[in-house]
Chain A
Amino acid sequence: MNSPNLPVVPDGSRLTPGELQAVVFARAALGRRGYDEDEVRGFLQYVERELVQILNERSSLAEEVDRLRTQLSKGGPGVMAPEDAHFQAVRILSQAQQTADLYVADAERYTRELAHEARLHREAILTDAKGRAEHLLEDAHRRAAEVADAAVRSGPPAPVPADAPGTPVLAGAGAPAPSRLPEEERRRMEQEITYLRTYSDVYRTHLRSYLEALLRNVDEWEDSERSSLPPAPRRP
């Protein structure tokens, strides 16, 4: 009967503030010395307050841990060490740079291919033009030779040198002795003049129409280029 009504704390559970309040100490036996009752009560109240505070803190910490756990499992915006944040930024910037490099390389390859095609196109046009020019010259030559031939045949009868048509010899044209200009020589020169006149006429006509066609081509090209480009801003 002398034992105090001490809180019974079974294994696994903890002392509660309520149990502290309910503690009652038996009075000391008469003649024996005991603690001051008020002091004991005061101390017990102090311990109780402390216990309440500790328990409150503990439960708020548990809540915080739960909150962080949930956040982590949801993958929400975590708090990152500055070091990691820096690497993250470096990684993102590197990726952006790689994308930019890719675009630049693509654009460069595209212009390179475009320019290359244009160059091939130009060469084809030039080859074609050279072929045409050759054709024009040959045509002019042929027709001039024919005309000269005809002129000789329709003129007064005279022996025509076998090699005369089509083989103008310019070097000999200005040099005959003025004293006696043989009839044959005069005829040859006339024939040559007729040849050259016709040759240049035919050639000029051909060339003019060809150049006009080319100019039209260039105009069309310019027009289509202008309409495909946005208006260029004026440079200062």
Chain B
Amino acid sequence: MDAQRLKASFARVAEQGDAVAMFFYADLFVRNPHLRDMFPVGMSGQRDKLLRALGHIVSRVDDLPNLLPFVQQLGRDHRRFGIVAEHYPQVGASLVATLRHFSGADWSEELAADWQAAYGLVAKVMQEAADEDALTSPAWWNGQVVGVERRRFDIAVLRVQPDRPLPYLPGQSVAVEVPARLRHWRYYSMANAPRPDNTVDFHVKLVDGGPVSTVLVRSTQTGDRIRMGAPIGTLTLDESSRRDVLLVAGSTGLAPLKAILEQLVRRPAPPRVHLFFGARDRDALYDLEDLTKLAQRHPWLTVVPAVSDESAGHGFSALLQSGGGEVEHGNLPDVVARRGPWDDHDAYVCGSPEMVGRTAERLTRLGVDRARVRLETYADAQR
């Protein structure tokens, strides 16, 4: 197997972009019509994912130590889609056919052998990781919605009872599928530390035009069923650290940080914790009531709510709004910076990509070691 030859071959094919993935899936479904049902009706997202994954793998094909974890995770991830051993050679055949089709005159017996060997290796690693995972964990968890709280017209807090224990670390998330949008998986963080009754909470914000979030926020009812993949994610508490903690949450980016907060509450001697909870306006601070109660119970916890799109207010409007207590005004990075210094803290940041990026950058400028900042963006993963 010649890594350089593979890379050059893939670079030539990948120049043809979406058409490559289009051909691959059409070829796969013509040869194996029964596989079509495993995919959503709209395939544009799927094609992007395929090309990205292929690009990632090919670019690291000569760097196995870095490639293996990615491929293993890919194998585990595919369990929830119902992928089993027999599917691997079918995918391999269509992949090689696609590469041959787009290589044109550059195709050769040696290249075919290279690709077959590379695919065989990737498929083997994926399958082994999936098989190993299957020893300890199901392909997916079925869950039943046991509580729905609509906190605002576009934000809901759902409580779900999994059909069997769902072990996870606070801060992690699972892919969620609803029956009304089959084959659409979206990641949501568990918003609580693991409970004895195994229930988990999800904070869901309606994304305009988002197929899954719309269903979850607008039409999900108690008793509805959902499916969940295995928990993943690295926005977890650094248990080895004894430093004070700074949590910065934008909107429903609060979910994983609230789980981490609950984990800290259970410590016999929690560190000092500052939780900044930001949104555009006051009524989007959907969980402030609960957070305020927590802060009243625990003197080590300070909760700072912040709104970015509302002025400080005056006259009677200010009087009308005063029910919610004091809030800071401004963007989260600015509000956080005003309350510093933070250079002796561990920081955990979650929210929109823009807010997370700017907060991390600001914290670094304020002297917080970048290695002490853990972050996650919810981006498109929640649509």
Contact = CB atoms under 8 A, between A and B. Distances in A.
Q: Is the interface of A mostly helix, strand, loop or mixed?
A: helix
Contacts, number: 62
A94 B27 CA distance: 9
B323 to A, nearest CB: 13
B26 A111 contact: no
Given A115-B206, A119-B208, A134-B316, A94 B44 contact: no
A97 B208 contact: no
Contacts of B211: 108
A152 to B, nearest CB: 25
B135 interface: no
Contact of B208 (A89, A91, A111): A111
Contact of A101 (B42, B153, B317): B42
A100 interface: yes
B44 A101 contact: yes
Interface in B74-121: none
A27 interface: no
A113 B209 CA distance: 8
A202 interface: no
Interface in B188-212: 206, 208-209, 211
Interface string B15-35: 000000011011101100000
Size band of the B side of the interface? 20 to 34
Nearest to B98: A90
Contacts of A116: 208
A204 interface: no
Interface string A80-119: 0000001001110110011011011100110111011001
B371 interface: no
B316 A137 contact: yes
Nearest to B42: A104
Contact of A130 (B44, B208, B320): B320
Interface of B: 22-23, 25-27, 29-30, 41-44, 153-154, 179, 206, 208-209, 211, 214, 224, 315-317, 319-320
The 8 closest A-B pairs by CB, nearest first: A112-B209, A104-B42, A115-B208, A93-B26, A90-B26, A94-B26, A112-B208, A137-B316
12 contacts: A90-B23, A90-B30, A93-B29, A94-B22, A94-B23, A104-B41, A111-B208, A111-B214, A119-B208, A133-B316, A137-B319, A235-B179
Interface of A: 86, 89-91, 93-94, 97-98, 100-101, 103-105, 108-109, 111-113, 115-116, 119, 122, 130, 133-134, 137-138, 235
